[in-house]
Amino acid sequence: MKPWLCDILACPIDKYYPLELYIFSFETTEDEFKKIISVYEERDITRIRAENIIEIQEEKGTIFVKDDIVIEKSSVDDYLNLIISSIEEVENLHDKSKLELSKRCFSIIREEIKNKIVNFTGIDEFEKIETIFPELYFLNKIKTETEIKTGLLFCVECKRWYPIIETIPQILPDEYRNENAEIEFLKTNKDLLDSTFFKQNLKPYNI
């Protein structure tokens, strides 16, 4: 599962949004996170531009932007608002994996990139937009190219949880869920969750 999915996923039972995401493990390796961080820190605009992740074009004096997060061409104002919304979703993410660099990446998004994007000005000039290319590149890479192997999605409203198994979120109605398998999933990963998590009225199963 890509972290980007949390930008759009809601609980299928009560339609509550956003869901909390608990990450237990990644398919993405520590080296792959390291490469993303390196490009961000080097701030090589030419290299980032060559990957063609962020596309900018001007039509009748108005600048439009799109990327792998905001896939529809949008005015800069609308684009940045959607990007900020995507950044804010990271606050609902809890990285319980063994990877140190994944945690660093989410910290960079929360602390550095959010501040830079929120305070960005100069929306009417190509050159100024390119000054935040490293931030946009980094956010796109982490959100749309990293892969969560195992984890859990949690609705704080109805207290339902949904496992992520082999990269696939298992978001099913209660009647189609496998009680034995899912209880075993909770038992296997219980040490990655705070004990207070299990004191809630978890649905459909608890341990």
Along the 207 residues of the chain, how does pLDDT read in single tens digits? Answer: 999 999 999 999 999 999 999 999 999 999 999 999 999 999 999 999 999 999 999 998 889 999 999 999 999 999 999 999 999 999 999 999 999 999 999 999 999 999 999 998 755 566 788 999 999 999 999 999 999 999 999 999 999 999 999 999 999 999 999 999 999 999 999 999 999 999 999 999 999
Backbone angles phi, psi at 26, to 5 degrees: -115, 150
Q: Distance (Å, rounded) from C-alpha 151 to C-alpha 66?
A: 29
First to last CA, the chain: 25
Q: Would you say 64 and 56 are in contact if contact means Cβ atoms under 8 Å apart? A: yes
How far CA 118 is from CA of 82, 134, 169, in Å, comes to 11, 15, 31
Place of tokens 């290299």: 47
Query: Rounded to the nearest 10 degrees, how much is the dihedral formed by the CA atoms of 40, 46, 51, 53?
Result: 70
- What is the pLDDT at residue 125? 66
Closest CA to 13 of 150, 154, 123: 154
- What is the pLDDT at residue 124? 59
- What is the pLDDT at residue 173? 93
- Predicted TM-score (pTM) of the model is 0.95
Residue 19 has which token pair?
A: 């869901």
Taking only Cα atoms into account, the Rg of the chain, rounded to an integer number of angstroms, comes to: 19
Q: Distance (Å, rounded) from C-alpha 25 to C-alpha 28?
A: 9
Query: Rounded to the nearest 10 degrees, how much is the dihedral formed by the CA atoms of 34, 36, 40, 43?
Result: 100
Work out whether the CA dihedral 167, 101, 154, 199 comes out positive or negative. Answer: positive
Neighbouring C-beta atoms of residue 201, cutoff 10 Å: 7
Domain positions in the chain:
1-27+147-207, 30-145
Q: Distance (Å, rounded) from C-alpha 137 to C-alpha 45?
A: 10
- What is the pLDDT at residue 123? 58
- What is the pLDDT at residue 85? 96
Q: Where are the alpha helices (DSSP H) in 51-192?
A: 76-88, 100-108, 114-118, 126-130, 133-144, 179-189
Q: Would you say 38 and 125 are in contact if contact means Cβ atoms under 8 Å apart? A: no
